[in-house]
Every structure is written in structure tokens, then in C-alpha cells.
Amino acid sequence: MRRSLQVVVLLAAIATVAVGVGAFALVTDSPDDTTDPSATDPPTVGDDASVEQFDSEAAFEAYVAAAQRDSRVSLGGGGVTFQGDVDVAVETADAATNGQRAGGSGGGGGETRISDTNVQVRGVAEPDRLQTGQQTLYYADGRYWGGGYVREDGHGRTRILDASDPAAPELVGGIDDSGQLLLVNDTLVVLSNDRVTGYDVADRASPEQVWSVGLNARIQTARMTEGRLVLVLQQGVTLDDPCPVEPFTDRPGTACTDVYHPGADADASVTYTVVSMDPHTGDEHDRVTFLGTRQHSATYVTNDSVYLTYTQRTPYAETYQAYLQGSELLDEQAHDRLDELATYDLTANARMTELRAVVQDWLARQPAEERDQLRSDLRSGYEEYVDERKRDLLRSGIVRIDRDGDSLSVAETGEVPGRPLNQWALDEHEGTLRIATTVDPMGATSVNDVYTLDGSLEVQGSARNMGETEEIYSVRFEGDTAYVVTFRQIDPFYTLDLSDPANPEIQGELKLPGFSRYLHPLSGDRVLGIGEEDGRVKATVFDVSDPQNPTVAESRILDARWSAVAQTHHAFLYDQRHEVFFLPTDRGGYVFDTELNQQAFVETDEPATRAAYVGDYLYVFSNDGLTVVDEETWEPVSELPFDRVTAEAVEEPVAPEPRPAGPDEPVRPVDAEWPAGPHR
């Protein structure tokens, strides 16, 4: 049955800006004051349209073929990487929280308190290599290369530790499987690069595999909520055999007539399938599949909904042609040729070739002594043209999928200017969605905004223009307040008042060296920032008691160049009982109180990866083993070495180059521990 939902388009065409790089050397510098106010505007990514399903497989194939013709995005499936999202967690009175800030027993239950995984939303569990149960901990192998990248790929072993004696934990069992872990009751779910597997761990000494399902897709996000496993799977679309869409290797696919797509053109490079499953049996409850783009930038999951966002860029060739058509610099002959090109159905590369030829021919007709100045004027004019339209040229589509028991449905879609950093750039509070974005289309001066959206995902209000020339490095929403850090050469820390969704307000700004990649609210109107300054790990405590005048209460630069906290909030541990936090580094783990006084340093042979508290003992994990520290004396009391995964057991891959994605590269997954760095 063909259904449609009238909504704001969630996906729009994305161009590969790289096609313009060569042209920029000749043309993209542009005129200072030559932009005609009536210049032709390029197509934008914000037109109203419908999201609907296909009438037939032929319609699906035709749509994909047309959409991909101009796309230079590499297609195909690929191994698992966890896009879930990145960094931070807290407990607030209203809902978006984490068990660590609450202080109580955490998620382990029983008489002995045991810490939970750091999560964004209370009641929504996130996958990590460390999971805690009642007097039991599960820890998956990882392998490191330079820059801090950790491999969690299904090879190796997940160790099961008995912590009934908190001072002396013991290895009591294990699973010959490794990856990201989720725990619900006596079921441990392991998410690896080619499968999702459920194990019965009621008998910790003899875990038993209960179910397993193979994957043809990447796991972008996984969550556990109300006893249900929710997966977001990304899969490349090929024209060879596109129907049905088969994210699993051994389960029926999704008929192409059940796939959602936007009414307007999109690059249609991937499908996204949101699946609800029973973690104990692996049975599938429901799924929703829709065409999307590889420019998936963030996933935010609440107890009732899944929000997916997509970076949408107006194609560079279209933007540049629109600018040239409105430019008074070009002569009549050039404009006639541009009008002719506008009627042609060309690929992006072909259009850019023609546009370069138009500009070269125009320059050749000009006096030789004027050509350099004209070229410069054209370049500066283009920059001004793009800067004035930047919020139309770079936008994020948002789709909300609601969960009602075991059922999933596409509920609403919307869009905002710019691109979100990660899951922490989105937050739902009292019926309002808040989203922080960086607006930085190629050729424009970057700025940063916060938008508020109602239940229909219509924009209610905005606070704009933070950190000109910079981009967002971290975000934290806390009730009616938001904290935003932007960075280029310094670290502006912003406080925002969101109590009136129709009128968000930037209250205060503080500038300091370095940047904060991770924000974590502490008690007493203080916010902890973990980041970097001059290539070294930096911890900062911000005093936000006066939101209009935030100050630095404490600051400390460590003798360390890397911390897993910069890549994943799961590596951060806050123990409210002892008012300390754990900061893993390449040399070992630091323990600081909330005044940044060092309480302990736990040395590890390999980089420290995770920590947990059990009773009044701190467990510090590395790939080599576990060190137990008494939180009353801060002295080590026991060690538990781990057997290493042998070289024969794991094929050594080529390490990924530790660099950030460019403006038109796919945003790299953030549940995996990638090296930290800006997006540009």
C-alpha cells in the first residue's frame, strides 16, 4: 500500500565540493562589490515536499539511478562502525541523564553499588566495550594504533569478571567474541563488524550463544530501551541488484515498495533501516527503511523516538552557476552561454568543466593587464555571495521515528541550517527539540547556531552567530540551559538560556586557550571540560553560577597527549560519592576531585581505556589487565592481568589515518573510538 506523509523534506541533493577545488584556483576567488543584489539564487535544500514510498521496484531503481548519476560517493556496504554518537552524560531532574551523576548504585543493582555506562538519556542504554551487571563486569578486547584508534571487531575475547569481592575481582568466564556490548538482565549482546549475537550469561562460567544474525550493513547506532534492542543500520545502494534492501544476511529484506524516500531529489547513496528486536531471542519486532545520504551526522535516541540527521549541501556547480549568472562582471557573450548551459542536463563534473570554460573564455576576451584583478574580483564576489546565503546552502534534515511498544513509524521530519556535531548536539526537553549546528558551506565564513523545534519539528526560535570563523567542538544541554564550545584558535565557551523556546538567548561568553571536546556538569553550578591545549590533554572547571559571566574556576594541563574521553563519553567516569572523576590517557589513568586536585595516578603498560567503581574501589582497565584502587586511600590493592589476543588470532589491518573528515566526507562514526579532531 502506498503511503505518504506531508512534511518538510528531510533529504536533499548533496554535492561533492571536491569538484570545485580545481576551479577555485582559477575562479573561486571572487569580486568585492560586484555581486548584483538581484543575482540568481542557487537552488537550496529547504523546499517543501513529501516523504513517500515507491509504487514499484522499477520506480525505486529509476529514482536511485537518477539520483546517483551526479554522485561521486563510493557505494557499497562495509564493516561495522558505531555511529551512535559522541561524548558526555549527566543526571538532570527532567530526564536526559546518566546514572553516574545520580550517584546512587548505578546500574548494577544489589547491595554493592556499581557504576553504569555513561549515557545520554536515562533508561536508554548505549553499547560500549565495558558493561556492568550485578557484581559482574564484561570487558571486550580492543587493539590500539597511533592516535588512539581502538579496534573492536569481533575478534578476540570478552572477559567476564566476578566482583563479589570488590577488592579482588576474578576472571570467571569469557566469550570468544568481541565488540561493543549491551547487557539486559542475563543477556549480553555483542555487536561486531559482521554480526549481532546474543549470549545467555546466567551461568557466568559457561556463557551460551542463543542467537546470531549476520549483517550486510554498518551499525550506525545501537540502543537498549525498555527491554528492546534498537539498531540503526546503514547500507550502500547499488544499481546491480537494489531490491529488496537486505541489511541482514539471513533474514528477509525490505521490499523496495516499503522504502521511504523524499519527494525531492536526493543522492540516494545509502539506505537506513531502523530495527526493533528482542535482545533475548533476536526476534525482529518491526523495521523502517528509507533512502538517505552518507552524510549522516548524528543519531539521538530517547525512550520513545529515534532522531536521525543528514548533512545537506547545495551542489557546488549549481551554486557557482547561479552566482555567475547574476554577476555583472561577465560580458553578454558569457551570460548567453550560461543561459544556454542552464537548459542542459549535465553531471556535476560536466557542468563544472563548462563553467570553467565560460570563465576562461571571458578572461581571454579581457585586456591582459586587467585579468588578474578581474579574476580576484570574481573570486571575492563568489565568497560574498555564498556567505550571504550560507544558511540555505548547508542544512540538516531531521527525521523522527517513533516507537510505540514493538512498532516503529516515521512520525515527523524537519530541517535546520548547518550540521550537528554528534548526538550531544540534539536534546529533547519538555516537548521541544534543541539542536546546535555549525554553518560552514565551502567558501563561507563559518558560524554556529542553536535552534528550537516543536513537536512537528517546525523551528520555533534560534540563537545564532556564535564563534564566527569557528566550529562547534562540544555541546551540553542541561534543562533550560545549553553550553556550547567552539574553536579555531581559542576556545569560546558559551552559555545559553533556552527557557523560552521561541526566544533562545546567548547569555555569556568566555574565551580561553585550547578547546574542550567533552562537557560534563558537576554539582554547584560548575561544568567540567575535557579537551586539549598545545597538543596536551587539558581539564577545565567552568563556574557558571552567573550565566552572563562564566569564568574558569580551575584549569590543568596534563602530561599526556591523548585521552579516550576525546573520542567517547563512555571512557569518562564520575563518582559522586567520592566527588572524583577518572580521566584515561595514553600513560594511565588520572583521578581528580572536582577542584582538579590529583588524588591518584594509575599507571598502565598500555593506554588506560575504561574505569568503573564497585563499592569503594576503582577498577582501571587497559588491554593488558585490570588494576583495583581503594578509593579511601587511593592505593592499588590488586591487579588482574589479561591474556593477550595472539597475532595468529587476528589479521593485522592497515590502521586508518588519524585525520578528521573534510567538509564533504562522511562524518565518521562516533561510538567507535576515532582520533579526536575538528571536522574540517
Distance CA 441, CA 398 (A): 18
pLDDT confidence of residue 52: 77
pLDDT confidence of residue 491: 80
CB atoms under 10 Å from CB of 216, counted, come to 18
pLDDT confidence of residue 526: 95
More confident of the two residues 243 and 6? 243
> What percentage of the chain has pLDDT greater than the value 70?
77
Mean pLDDT across 404-419: 91
pLDDT band for position 66 (cuts 50, 70, 90): confident
Contact 503, 461 (CB under 8 A): yes
**270-277 and 228-236 beta bridge pairing:** antiparallel
pLDDT confidence of residue 107: 39
Q: Name beta bridge partners: 487.
A: 471
C-alpha cell recorded at residue 352: 563544472
Single-letter amino acid code for the residue at 316: Y
pLDDT band for position 664 (cuts 50, 70, 90): very low
pLDDT confidence of residue 262: 64
Mean pLDDT across 117-144: 89
Minimum mean pLDDT among 391-395, 432-436, 593-597: which range? 391-395
More confident of the two residues 648 and 226? 226
pLDDT confidence of residue 465: 95
- Of 57-61, 68-72, 670-674, the range with the highest mean pLDDT is 57-61
Reported as type and span, the H/E element at residue 59 is helix 57-68
Reported as type and span, the H/E element at residue 416 is strand 407-417
pLDDT for 53 beyond 50: yes
pLDDT confidence of residue 213: 96
Minimum mean pLDDT among 233-237, 447-451, 493-497, 617-621: which range? 233-237
Distance CA 18, CA 133 (A): 48
pLDDT for 90 beyond 60: no
More confident of the two residues 37 and 643? 643
pLDDT confidence of residue 295: 67
Distance CA 385, CA 319 (A): 9
pLDDT confidence of residue 10: 33
Distance CA 193, CA 219 (A): 8
Mean pLDDT across 333-353: 91
pLDDT confidence of residue 644: 61
C-alpha cell recorded at residue 53: 514510498
Distance CA 310, CA 633 (A): 49
Q: What is the DSSP string of 550-600?
A: -EEEEEEE-S-S--GGGT-GGG-EEETTTTEEEEE-SSEEEEEETT--EEE
Q: Computed over its alpha carbons, how large is the radius of gyration of the chain?
A: 26
pLDDT band for position 263 (cuts 50, 70, 90): low
Distance CA 676, CA 670 (A): 10
pLDDT for 395 beyond 90: no
Mean pLDDT across 356-379: 94
Q: Name beta bridge partners: 509.
A: 494
pLDDT for 24 beyond 70: no
pLDDT confidence of residue 40: 59
pLDDT for 674 beyond 90: no
pLDDT confidence of residue 623: 86
Q: 3-class SS at 204?
A: coil
pLDDT confidence of residue 43: 53
> What percentage of the chain has pLDDT greater than the value 90?
60
Minimum mean pLDDT among 23-32, 218-227, 441-450: which range? 23-32
Instruction: For 272-306, give one letter per residue: b (16+ CB within 10 A) or e.
Output: bbbbbbbbbebebbbbbbbbbbbbbbbbbbbeebb
Contact 314, 327 (CB under 8 A): no
pLDDT for 139 beyond 50: yes
More confident of the two residues 59 and 615? 615
pLDDT confidence of residue 669: 33
pLDDT confidence of residue 59: 82
Domain borders along the chain are: 4-48+318-390
Reported as type and span, the H/E element at residue 381 is helix 371-388
pLDDT for 11 beyond 70: no
pLDDT confidence of residue 71: 52
pLDDT for 77 beyond 50: no
Contact 301, 225 (CB under 8 A): yes
pLDDT band for position 236 (cuts 50, 70, 90): confident
pLDDT confidence of residue 138: 97
pLDDT band for position 369 (cuts 50, 70, 90): very high
Distance CA 229, CA 278 (A): 6
Contact 233, 299 (CB under 8 A): no
pLDDT for 427 beyond 90: yes
| Mean of the per-residue pLDDT values of the chain | 80
C-alpha cell recorded at residue 128: 560500549
C-alpha cell recorded at residue 138: 564484561
Minimum mean pLDDT among 36-40, 309-313, 570-574, 625-629: which range? 36-40
Distance CA 259, CA 347 (A): 26
Distance CA 463, CA 451 (A): 7
pLDDT band for position 524 (cuts 50, 70, 90): confident
pLDDT confidence of residue 322: 93
pLDDT for 456 beyond 80: yes
Mean pLDDT across 205-230: 94
pLDDT for 248 beyond 90: yes
Minimum mean pLDDT among 104-113, 503-512, 623-632: which range? 104-113
C-alpha cell recorded at residue 407: 512498532
Distance CA 527, CA 267 (A): 41
